[in-house]
Amino acid sequence: HAEFDINSTQFPNLAGHTWRVYFHWRNGNTSGVQQPPAAVDNISIAAVTCQAPASVTVTPSGTTAEVSWVGSSDSYEITYTTDTTTVSETATSSPYTLNNLSLSTNYTLKVRGICNNPSDTSNYSTTVSFRTFPPQSINFLVIKPISVT
């Protein structure tokens, strides 16, 4: 089972035209093994009227990160992921600050617009990767008393 999305940044002039969708299966038998035939079903074609956010940037700082994007949606869903956790937050404007992030951790993040109602969403933005900073070391100045005679 695979899902494939075409968004308007890939094909900006889709509106107002008639398009045909073709599916082509070719068994090249290049590995010497005959592959089974393919089947395509459950096709859905829908116009996405809610535009995906663009120019997503992330500026990490300790346990926070500021996320910025360009978009015109009513609100936005920000989804960020580590190796073990996925979190989604809702924002109403850019920039937006993510809090309580783990130090020295790799994250991936994507943003999608929410228009009119929660079921009217855009495609996700391109995925952005970032890493939070390691803990800051603290240097102490040790003053030792000296004896004066």
Q: Tens digits of per-residue pLDDT, 30-61?
A: 666 776 767 777 777 666 788 899 999 999 98
Residue with token string 């990160």: 65
- Give the pLDDT band (50/70/90) at residue 18: confident
Bridge pairing between strands 96-98 and 128-131: unpaired
Q: Is the pLDDT at 25 greater than 80, yes or no?
A: no
Distances, alpha carbon 18 to alpha carbons 14, 23, 41, 46, in Å: 8, 17, 21, 14
Is 29 in contact with 37 (CB distance < 8 Å)?
no
pLDDT of residue 120: 87
Query: What is the rounded CA–CA span in Å between residue 74 and residue 78?
Result: 13
Is 93 within 8 Å of 126 (Cβ atoms)?
A: no
| DSSP annotation of 68 | E
- Extract the tokens encoding 99: 């809090």
In the predicted structure, residue 21 carries a pLDDT above the cut 60? yes
Q: What pLDDT was estimated at residue 114?
A: 95
Identify which has the larger pLDDT, 10 or 120: 120
pLDDT tens string 63-118: 999 999 999 999 999 999 999 999 999 999 999 999 999 999 999 999 999 998 87
